[in-house]
């Protein structure tokens, strides 16, 4: 979102208040130009190797966003049958979709394999079942847990020893025994360290572990290093230096391929990196409550639409789109849910008035996809702005939507 010389915020030249007037409030808005720019940055950082991007679509499953990803050459990583079907609806071939389950019923894995997806095996029991079911007729990847603690909040760290995700690298002998027993065709190794990793060192550490582990598998085609690159949440925020990271990992990957005896493909599975900064949640101020302890700004949204601040304590920068030059005051920005749903505490904002439009930044990832109907509230509409045009890509819910699956009405 840009601030013009006329002190007006715009998204590709469009006034956000015009979007809420046309499509209603609250409203999710995605900037397609940002998604394109972030994809190009990742492609440029790893231009020296055979690299493929697999969008972690759990971060944003809007079909218009998935179609944009397909248009710019990004494939998909899914974690459920529903996401798999959405990928196909967006135009992806099953062969372009990787299914990375986490302790799911085995029939989900069977359905995905038989539909043509490549599965990422995340446990020894699943590996044993995969061998019993498919033998060497179907290839798969194995998700390795490197036992490295890195990332932001503990809930988004996924590679440490206590994490539920993947098979511990310490169980390599057990993995190899099962693979040999059923002659399973392992074509790739995968790991995902977590999210909000700023420095190159954790990526290099887990890459070295995965490269060393890969030497035990003679038929590999893919090494998948996951995602977790840090994005900017506030002005001046530290981010992952993608050029530095790209150079260092590419150098080690090339060395590994030379030692392995042939060139493999390097995969990454970014979610937040590609879409977080593209998204805005536009809300309307309903009440400004001046309290002896705090000044409260109540808005027409809550944890039902954006739960990350309450779940992770995540920071979302807030703009007063309607009054960008007002005198700054400290506010607690809170939601309308009958819970403590505080978006921000003691946040300095240009004076907020009833009816002002506020914009929550970094709402493109894990915003709508983690939303709910708590308090019987409706999910908001979604708009994609691309090539200077704003297009409604999901309508606002209605009471009929909430009652659709209930029986005996």
pLDDT digits (tens, 9 = 90+) for 19-50: 999 999 999 999 999 999 999 999 999 998 99
Which residues carry out catalysis? Answer: 338
- pLDDT of the residue at 160: 57
- pLDDT of the residue at 153: 45
d(CA 38, CA 231): 10
- pLDDT of the residue at 158: 47
What structural domains does the chain harbor? 2-30+276-403 (2.40.37.10), 101-268 (3.20.20.10)
pTM of the full structure: 0.92
pLDDT digits (tens, 9 = 90+) for 199-209: 677 788 888 89
- pLDDT of the residue at 156: 42
Strands 381-386 and 389-394: antiparallel
Residues of the chain where predicted confidence (pLDDT) is lower than 70: 149-161, 194-199
């Amino acid at each position: 979102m840009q601030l013009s010389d006329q002190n007006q915020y715009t998204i590709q030249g469009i006034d956000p208040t015009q979007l809420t007037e046309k499509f209603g409030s609250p409203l999710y808005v995605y900037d397609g130009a940002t998604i394109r720019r972030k994809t190009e940055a990742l492609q440029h950082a790893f231009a020296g190797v055979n690299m493929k991007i697999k969008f972690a679509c759990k971060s944003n499953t809007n079909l218009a966003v998935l179609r944009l990803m397909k248009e710019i050459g990004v494939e998909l990583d899914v974690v459920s049958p529903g996401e798999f079907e959405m990928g196909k609806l967006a135009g992806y071939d099953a062969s372009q979709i990787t299914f990375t389950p986490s302790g799911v019923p085995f029939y989900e894995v069977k359905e995905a394999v038989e539909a043509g997806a490549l599965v990422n095996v995340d446990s020894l029991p699943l590996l044993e079942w995969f061998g019993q079911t498919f033998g060497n007729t179907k290839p798969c990847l194995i998700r390795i847990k490197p036992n490295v603690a890195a990332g932001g909040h503990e809930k988004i760290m996924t590679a440490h020893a206590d994490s539920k995700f993947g098979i511990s690298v310490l169980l390599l002998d057990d993995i190899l025994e099962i693979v040999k027993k059923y002659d399973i065709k392992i074509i790739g190794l995968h790991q995902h360290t977590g999210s909000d990793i700023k420095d190159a060192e954790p990526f290099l550490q887990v890459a070295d572990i995965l490269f060393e582990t890969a030497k035990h598998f003679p038929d590999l085609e893919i090494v998948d290093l996951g995602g977790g690159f840090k994005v900017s949440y506030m002005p001046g925020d530290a981010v992952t230096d993608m050029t530095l990271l790209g150079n260092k990992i590419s150098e080690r990957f090339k060395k590994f391929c030379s030692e392995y005896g042939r060139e493999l493909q390097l995969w990454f599975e970014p979610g937040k990196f590609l879409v977080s900064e593209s998204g805005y949640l536009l809300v309307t101020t309903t009440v400004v409550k001046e309290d002896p302890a705090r000044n409260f700004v109540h808005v027409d949204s809550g944890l039902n639409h954006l739960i990350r601040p309450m779940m992770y304590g995540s920071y979302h920068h807030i703009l007063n789109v309607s009054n960008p030059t007002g005198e700054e005051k400290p506010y607690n920005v809170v939601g309308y849910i009958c819970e403590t749903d505080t978006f921000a505490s003691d946040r300095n904002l240009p004076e907020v008035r009833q009816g002002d439009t506020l914009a929550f930044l970094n709402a493109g990832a894990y915003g709508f996809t983690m939303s709910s109907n708590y308090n019987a509230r409706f999910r908001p509409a979604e708009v994609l702005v691309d090539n200077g045009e704003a297009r409604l890509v999901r309508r606002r819910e209605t009471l009929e939507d909430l009652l659709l699956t209930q029986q005996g009405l």
